[in-house]
Amino acid sequence: MTLTSIIWQILQTVICLAAAPLVTGFVRFVKARLNGRQGPSPLQPYRDLARLLRKELVLAENASWLFRIAPYLIFGFTWMAASLVPSFTTNLVLIPTADMITLVAMLGAARFMIALAGLDVGTSFGGLGASREMMIASLAEPAMLMTVFTLALLTGTTSPARIVDFVLAGGVGLQVSMGLALVAMILVAIAENGRIPIDNPATHLELTMVHEAMVLEYTGRHLALIEAAAMVRLMLYISLISCIFMPWGISQSGKGLEGLVIGLFAYGFKVMALAALLGLFETVIAKMRVFRYADFLGGALLLSLLATLVLYVSEAV
């Protein structure tokens, strides 16, 4: 542990929280412009969070202690998971403890808490959203773990920082398995973040909503924490994809201040490029019906399994 690794870790933790609303706002801005509308400013999510924090907290009469602490736990688990992903440097103090399986477990814990909170108040919307969320989780988590397994076979580690070092050292060239794992992770990221075609974060239609159904009873700072956690989760997946599959520009240990500045610029460019691609994808695709979620996430699981099989076959030949 060095002083610089502690400083960069604090910087990374602050950046993933401070930039998350901007990324969400940028996706909305891109979608609005592609639809021919002026749309809100990319800074609008900051104003929305500030407005929620100023509002009075109103709790449902039958809400238990679980309903009150869930937003803090959801936000804490998600923020901690995002802090484990190396974004602009691998010289971070938490790198020795960072592991892809740990990351999946922390996101699973956050999802478990939001589903419990949705059920706690006993409304029909909360139960509907929780049941759909668990259905998505039962399909998305195996696909995510299978993708992690493929990456571990390719690189010999489940640590994101060590994967970055391995890829930058030329350990992985043009690999079919890597490409299949990338597509599988993108499909999982879309489902986990409640984006189109799985969910639409801007809708409140009973027949289609998932995430919004579980948080309808939340107000004030509780809702601000849950919305901020959703923004950080999107930032996490974008950072994870750019870290593992596009690690170019990330500063490694010993690169100095110049490498760090390059890493920051490269990270900002990759995040905005992926956010723009997400906005484009959501503009050209329609919302999927609920009973087709299994097809979408089954495809992700199949691709991750195929990535492992291709890897074994290519090594055996």
pLDDT per residue as tens digits for the range 52-61 = 999 988 888 8
Query: One-letter amino acid identity for 253?
Result: S
The 3-state DSSP class for residue 204 equals coil
> What would the pLDDT profile of 207-224 be if each residue is shown by its tens digit?
667 777 888 889 999 999
Mean per-residue pLDDT for 186-210? 80
pLDDT at 289: 83
Structure confidence at residue 260 (pLDDT): 87
pLDDT by residue (tens digit) across 29-80? Answer: 999 999 998 888 999 999 999 999 999 888 888 889 999 999 999 999 999 9
**What is residue 72's predicted lDDT score, i.e. its pLDDT?**
96
Please report the sign of the dihedral spanned by the C-alpha atoms of residue 52, residue 53, residue 59, residue 64.
positive
| Rounded CA separation 245/238 (Å) | 11
pLDDT band at 258 (very low <50, low <70, confident <90, very high): confident
Angle at 92 between CA 89 and CA 93, to 5 degrees: 175
Whether the Cβ atoms of residue 137 and residue 107 lie closer than 8 Å to each other: no
pLDDT of residue 278: 93
Partnered with residue 251 across adjacent β-strands are 89
d(CA 148, CA 107): 14
Helix (H, G, I), strand (E, B) or coil at 277: helix
Compute the distance between CA of residue 245 and CA of residue 299 in angstroms, rounded to an integer. 20
Q: Which helix (H) or strand (E) holds 86?
A: none
Q: pTM of whole model > 0.85?
A: yes
pLDDT over 70 at 204, yes or no: no
- State yes or no: pLDDT of 16 exceeds 70: yes
Region 159-185: what's the mean pLDDT?
83
| Residue 254 clears pLDDT 80, i.e. is over it | no
HSE toward the beta carbon, residue 209, CA cutoff 13 A: 16
Alpha helices in the chain (DSSP H): 3-18, 20-34, 44-54, 65-83, 100-120, 124-155, 160-168, 176-192, 211-214, 220-245, 256-284, 293-316
